Each structure stands twice: as C-alpha cells, then as structure tokens.
Structure 1
C-alpha cells in the first residue's frame, strides 16, 4: 500500500488536542475492534490519531484475545497516548462464545457520535470526523453519514475507488444491497443505544451487525453520503465477508437474507407497496430453495407467480446440511423451471 495514503501519528497527545475547540465533553468516539491484526493495526490507530478536528474525541480499541502481537502494539500506543486511548482487552475470545463484538466495544464509548473502523482498515483523510460531526450537529434530520473510500486488494496489491458506497440509501435500498462501508460511518450514540434495546434478542444471533443497524437508522432519519474518499478498506483473502470457502460464503449469504427478512417483517407497514419488498421476496425464495430453509409466509404473496409455484415444488421438506452435488443439481432444476415458466408466460 502506498504510504502516501496513510496518516502519520502525531508526536504527542498535545498535538492532537491543539486542534480542539469544543472540550466540554467527548463529542466523538472512534471505536476499533481487532483480533489477530498485528500487521495492520498501526495504520488504523494512526488514522485515528491523525484526525484534526475542533471536537474532543476519544479512541476505544477492543481486542478479542489476540495472541499474534496485536495486544503488545495497542498497549504501546496506550502508553504513548494515555488520555486519548481506552483499551478493552479480553482474556477470553468473546466471538467464539457467540457474542457480537461491536456492542461490547461501544458500551465503553462516551461520545455523542460514534465513528467505526475495524483493525485491518484505516482512515486517510485527516478531516474525516470533523466533516462528519459538523453534518450531524447542523442537520438533526440526519441519522447516519458515510463517505466514499478505496478498496485495497491485499493479494494483488491493487487500489481503486470502492463501488460500494451509493448516494441513495433508505430502508428499501438497504433491504436489497448494503451500500455503506462501515469504516466510513458516523452516527449518534443515542441511536445505537436504542438499537440495542429494540433488537436485544437478535444482536447475538445475527451473523453481522452493520446491516441491521443501517436499516434501523434509515427509519430514524436521512442517510447522507459525503463526497470524499476518507478511508481504505482492505480486501483480504479471508474475512467475515470474503472467503474461498463456499460453505462460509453460503452462510454469509443466508445471514444477510435472515437479517433482511427480519427487518422487512418488523417494518412491514412501511414497505407494503414497495417494489423492494417484491424483489426481496423473490430473492428470499431463491435462497430458501438453494439452501433448504423455510420461506417466511408473509413474503410469499409479494413474489412473482412463477416463484410461488417453484417454492411448492421444492419445499416439501427442510434439511440443514446440503452437499455440493445436490446444491448444483438443485440449481440446474431451478434454472430449467424458471426458463419454462418464462417461455410459458411469453406464449
């Protein structure tokens, strides 16, 4: 990665604080979750420390019992910037116990606003949190702000503007596609607290936590995209959203569908006449057919007629395990029947 993109750590805490004008409270909590990221975590922390903003901020780093040297690095930074950095170091891995890490880390935050960045990503715009905080302070109708960013592919060392962030984000669009990169976001901590209260029974069962939070925030206000490339997202060979394992990617897809269906059901009254609900219903049926799990009945009436027929053909029983051979065979049958229904409809 070209070092020109990276922010340098300041010489001292005093340099960071010299930019602060508003110091009556913690305005921004920069929150990082990390595990086994000793090769990347310095860039993340330097991106926090390199921020030049009028608003007092804190840095919270949650380490989920790393044993690769990550713990030593973050303790080194803590010693150098003791009043800026707050460490949460686990002695047992919480993720392996079925706990979601972001809620744990955020429970230590004191800021009015939250800015997130995982330990393998980093910020490159020294005014990132300044611009985002100003939008949230001056525009009460905004519930979430995010920015454009770069995707850096670690395997082939290429860097390009990410195609993920989109201008239009609301509950309808987010049900179909997550066009928000977590490392670029900022939102109100009070809204996150409400989110954990509303979805307390779901947080630890969902495969990931950013999408349901974005959908929830979209129901509270406007989501704004700032036209600046403020950060770098590392595309790793193995991560929560990228893997060479078909099984892991299938599970990731299923978790995403489970979240979308749950949120569609909760906010059904807002979505009854939405085209997004129709598209979600068709995708849900396809995923259910492929991975053998039950279709939510409230969505069936929103699906196309041909998909309703297909679900009757395929869903006479449910299994939790599906071999690759059966999966491919099922896909061939599904595509054949889809073509048949399309030809029948055209005739």
Structure 2
C-alpha cells in the first residue's frame, strides 16, 4: 500500500460496548478471524458495564495484547452526555476505520480485505459498505436483510437521506480516516442521540460511498439495553428520536445550501407520519401530505 510503512496500522476497528456479556465474544472473534495482508488494531470502549463484559474483554486482551486495546470506564459516559463514539476515534491510528458494536459481529473473514482493497483502488471513495443480516438476539433467527441494493453500486446522497438510519448497517461501514474527519461543526455541536445516520450522510457528501452486495455482517435486534431497545421500543422516546432526526436533516439542508431540499422534505414528512402512527393518531396520519405514503 502506498505511503505506508511495514508496521503502520491500516485499519482501526472501533467497538463500543455496554452490558454485552452474551455477545461480545462473537464480536471479538469475528475481528480476530479477519484474513488480511495488513495490520489492524481492535479498539474496544466498555462504558462501565455492570455485567461480565469487561471481564470477557480482559481475557482477550491478555491473549492478544498486541492488537486489542480496551478502555474500561469506571463511570458510564453515555449517561453523562458524552458522545461515546468519539472516544475510540480520537485514539485510532488506522488509515481506515471499521465500525462494529459489541452486540453485533462480522460473518466473513475476508470482509476487511475486500473493503480496504476497494478503497485503495478508488481514492475518491470515502467509504465502502455491504449487506448485513438483521437477526433476533434471542435465537438468532433472521428477520430481514439490510440490503440497500441488489447489485454493487455507488450510493447516492438522495438514497442515503431517504433510506434513514437503517439503510446501511453500521457494522458494514469502513471509511477513510482523512475524509471521515472532515466534519462540519454541527456534527459535534448538536447533541443528537445518534450518529450513524449523520456519518453516512457526511461520507456521501465528502466522497463516494460504494456498496458491495454481499452479506458480511450480522446486526442483532432486540438486545436488552441496546440503543434501539432503549429508544425505539418506547412510543414517546421513538417520537422524540424522529423529531431529532428531522432537526438534524434541517441542519444538513442548511449545510448543503438546500441542494437536496426535495428529498429532505420528503423524508421529514415520512418521519412525521411515523410519529403520528406510533402515537396512535391515525386520523391525523391520513390527512394532508401524509396521504401520499
């Protein structure tokens, strides 16, 4: 690889975890099974888990201390309003960042190599993503595939905005450090309770995001204490979340000088419809512009 020395880290795997004792081993094993011709590091941030998650991570750290580099928080940072995702980012050394939460895992040992190979050959590409399975945490039964397209292709900004936060699986994202760090002020200044949707939008704005139509990871749904369980299974919290999403889209609209206003307004209307349905306001949902959905 160009401009890299023999001992340089090519990929930093960024893994955030909290009370994932039943899942964290799957995640770490899937990182360790990667077959690459380059070096990578595994950065794990444990946000003061109250179960055996930290204990399990320590066992792996003892065996693979050269590549597994954990942080063990004594107090939960998320509850203090800290943007936890940035903690691993700020200590990463890789040319590329690969994302995977502690309750998810990768399913293909060649995942990293395939994505890095593509990014190396296409310097104008900011990120490479792929298909993923969404499975139930209890029993691992497949619910559906997270599959943005039925073929390999470049994803457009319109598709990404309209697709929402679940359009691309977070654990499929590998992105270029130098492009991913080009973030407007609003990414940090606005305390949204999510970040993956913002990230993929920004990566699409600063470069090309390429999709590989191959399932190479697994996303678990209905994990106890996960962000989704805490925020989207409760009607009030889910409604507040979609209001936050719409606020974020307003800021993106300003940042892009309204270049994508049509698709942003359409997406906001769909989110507003989702809020009404969750609140049981079916009559209001059938009125006005919502009738189009």
Normalized against structure 2, the TM-score is what?
A: 0.86
**Distance in structure 2 (CA, Å) of the matches to 1:50 and 1:25:** 20
Shift of 1:99: 1.3
Q: Does the residue aligned with 1:194 lie in a helix, a strand or coil?
A: coil
Tell whether 2:283 aligns with 1:332.
yes
Q: Who is 2:70 aligned against?
A: 87
Shift of 1:229: 1.2
Picking from 184, 188, 203, the partner of 2:172 is 184
Shift in CA distance, 256/269, structure 1 to aligned 2, threshold 3 Å: closer
Report 1:236-255 matches (<5 A): 236=222, 238=224, 239-242=226-229, 243-255=232-244
Shift in CA distance, 163/284, structure 1 to aligned 2, threshold 3 Å: closer
Shift of 1:37: 0.3
Q: Who is 2:187 aligned against?
A: 199
Q: Does the residue aligned with 1:62 lie in a helix, a strand or coil?
A: strand
Q: Who is 2:159 aligned against?
A: 173
Q: Structure 2, unaligned stretches of length 5 or more? A: none
Q: Does the residue aligned with 1:146 lie in a helix, a strand or coil?
A: strand
Shift of 1:67: 1.7
Shift in CA distance, 24/39, structure 1 to aligned 2, threshold 3 Å: same
Q: Who is 2:7 aligned against?
A: 24
Deviations 1:190-225 (A, max 9, x none): 2232227563312xx111011111111111111111
Picking from 132, 147, 163, the partner of 2:130 is 147
Deviations 1:5-28 (A, max 9, x none): xxxxxxxxxxxxxxxx97331000
Shift of 1:244: 3.3
Cα contact 1:28–1:57 (8 A) shared by 2: yes
Q: Cα RMSD (Å) of the superposition?
A: 2.6
Q: Who is 1:125 aligned against?
A: 108
Q: Does the residue aligned with 1:200 lie in a helix, a strand or coil?
A: helix
Cα contact 1:241–1:249 (8 A) shared by 2: no
Tell whether 2:267 aligns with 1:280.
yes
**Distance in structure 1 (CA, Å) of the matches to 2:111 and 2:144:** 17
Deviations 1:24-63 (A, max 9, x none): 3100001100000011000000001110101111110000
Aligned length: 280
Question: More deviation in 58-67 or 159-168?
Answer: 159-168
Shift in CA distance, 130/22, structure 1 to aligned 2, threshold 3 Å: farther
Q: Who is 2:246 aligned against?
A: 257
Shift of 1:72: 0.7
Shift of 1:265: 2.2
Shift in CA distance, 237/133, structure 1 to aligned 2, threshold 3 Å: closer
Shift of 1:287: 7.0
Tell whether 2:55 aligns with 1:66.
no
Picking from 25, 36, 55, the partner of 1:42 is 25
Which one has more relative contact order, counting CA pairs under 8 Å at least 6 apart?
Answer: 2
Shift in CA distance, 78/196, structure 1 to aligned 2, threshold 3 Å: farther
Q: Does the residue aligned with 1:31 lie in a helix, a strand or coil?
A: strand
Cα contact 1:114–1:189 (8 A) shared by 2: yes
